[in-house]
Every structure is written in structure tokens, then in C-alpha cells.
Structure 1
Amino acid sequence: MRIDKYLWCVRYYKTRNMVTEACKKNHVTVNGQIAKPSREVFPTDKITFRKDQITQIITVLDIPESRVGAKLVDIYRRNDTPAEAYAHLELLKLSKDYYRKTGTGRPTKKDRRDIDEYGNEIPEDFEEDFL
């Protein structure tokens, strides 16, 4: 089976076109060699590809007939991706949340309206104190 069809069948990519683009950008390797979309894969091949800032490593166990359901994916592949890669992704997500908290930085539209309202309010006793 072709590498683009295999990665689509085991649900790593949503469309075969996305797999083809990843292959053209040299993001996919089979047994350490850069793979073209038409590269054939066989059981025991190691596929390495970069997706969502994680370098995924999978081993082909069997070749599916067509696209399989999410529950059946483990029959056709073994995920050898180290746990540190997933932990690194979680750290990236947390660092983004920490860097920009909601309500900080540039004022929102509501904040701007509140600021404008605050500046237009004149206290009732202002004229008495002024005169």
C-alpha cells in the first residue's frame, strides 16, 4: 500500500492530499529514508513523520483494506513515539496560556467603553467646588 494511503487509512491525516503535501515537504520518512507519496509500505516498516509539532514514530503491523475506524487503528500500527514528545506539546500549550492571559494587554471593546464612560462622568458637586 502507498504511504499516503496508509497514513490516511490509519487516521493520522484527514485527507490523502494532506499526506501528499507532508511527503513533498520531506516530513515523512520510511526506515530512515525520505518517502515520496507513492512509496510502498510493508509490515515491520518504521514510519517517522512530523505533525502538530511532534515527531511521530509508528511501526506498521498490518495493511488495512481501506480506511478504518478509530477503535481499530491499533490493529494496523504500533505507536513508538516517546512520551516526552507529548509532554513537550503539553508544555507548549501551557506556556501559550501563561504568556497571554485573558484581559491583559490591549483593552477589549468592553474595557474601552468602560474607560470612555469613566472619563465622561462628572460628579454632581463638581460645579460647586469649581465655582
Structure 2
Amino acid sequence: MPEKEKLRIDKYLWAIRMFKTRTLASDACKAGRVKLNGTNIKPSHEVKTGETYQISKGPDRKVILVAGLLENRVDAKKAVDYYQDITPIEQTTTFKSMFHAPVLKRDRGTGRPTKRDRRETDDLKDNFFEKPEEEKEG
């Protein structure tokens, strides 16, 4: 694909497959979910190679570095060549998913939990997020 010298940010984000449609990319820019160095940008902002953008898309936060300009949408394998994902590991969803509470399941056919079962479940959930006594004191 030939590189273009002037390219809008909404078209670039659509072309590298950050957003499903160009309209969604444009709306994200208007809503302030696409930032350049911490400042909101308009959908008509011109992309330059080497710039770093912060993109918020639902619970996901991404930081991308523009490696090349891409005018038309291409398949995902080729699109990866035109940007670098430099998102810190603390902001990725895989990192956050490691800290979720365990899922409590009941055996099928055991019926509704009794009042006693419910209290035990609530106590287990409440104590899961508290620090042990040794860590609180020190």
C-alpha cells in the first residue's frame, strides 16, 4: 500500500482496525477518547509518523505509536505493520483479569442456597479482599 502524506486520524484508526467503522473512530475523537500527548484531538487531525496516541475503547486503554500511514483498510496481519502497541502491561485487560475474585459455583440440582449457605458465601467474598492480619500491622 502506498503511503499518503496527509491522513486524518479517524481514517487512520479505522484503517489499522482500532475501530470497526470510520464513524465510530470519528465519534471517539469527538468524545475525547483519542488523545495526543494528553490533549483531545479532532477527527480531522493529521497523523504523522512517530506520534503517540492514547485510545480509550470501553474498558480497554491502548497506547499506540504510528509506524506508517495507511489510507485504506487492510487485513489485520498487514495492519499491525503500521503501528506499535506500546501499552504498559498494567493497562491491559489480561493484567487486570488476574485480580478478579474467584467465581463461586453450586452443583447442579442442589436447589436454592439456604440462609446459612448465603452467609458463608458472603463472608468468603468479604474476606477475600481484606489483607491478612500480619500485613495490616506492618
Question: Structure 2 length as normaliser, TM-score?
Answer: 0.64
Q: Residue 15 of structure 1 aligns with which residue?
A: 21
Change (3 A) 1:90 1:36: same
Show structure 2 runs of 5+ residues with no match: 1-6, 113-138
Show structure 1 runs of 5+ residues with no match: 105-110, 113-131
Q: Residue 63 of structure 2 aligns with which residue?
A: 57
1:63-120 CA-partner distances (Å, limit 9, x unpaired): 013112100122100000112222344247x54x72x75889xxxxxx79xxxxxxxx
Question: Structure 1 length as normaliser, TM-score?
Answer: 0.67
Q: Residue 37 of structure 2 aligns with which residue?
A: 31
Count how many residue pairs are aligned between Structure 1 and Structure 2.
Answer: 104
State which of 77, 81, 97 in structure 2 corresponds to 1:90. 97
Q: Residue 132 of structure 2 aligns with which residue?
A: none
Q: Which has the higher helix share?
A: 1
Q: Residue 9 of structure 2 aligns with which residue?
A: 3
Query: Structure 1 segments of 4 or more deviating over 4 A?
Result: 100-104
Q: Does structure 1 conserve the Cα–Cα contact (< 8 Å) formed by 2:11 and 2:71?
A: no
1:78 partnered with 2:84: yes
1:40-65 CA-partner distances (Å, limit 9, x unpaired): 11100101011131220000011013
Q: Does structure 2 conserve the Cα–Cα contact (< 8 Å) formed by 1:29 and 1:35?
A: yes
Change (3 A) 1:102 1:8: farther
Paired letter, 1:33? T
The alignment's C-alpha RMSD in Å is: 2.5
Provide the secondary structure at the position in 2 that maps to 1:48: strand
Q: Does structure 2 conserve the Cα–Cα contact (< 8 Å) formed by 1:54 and 1:89?
A: no
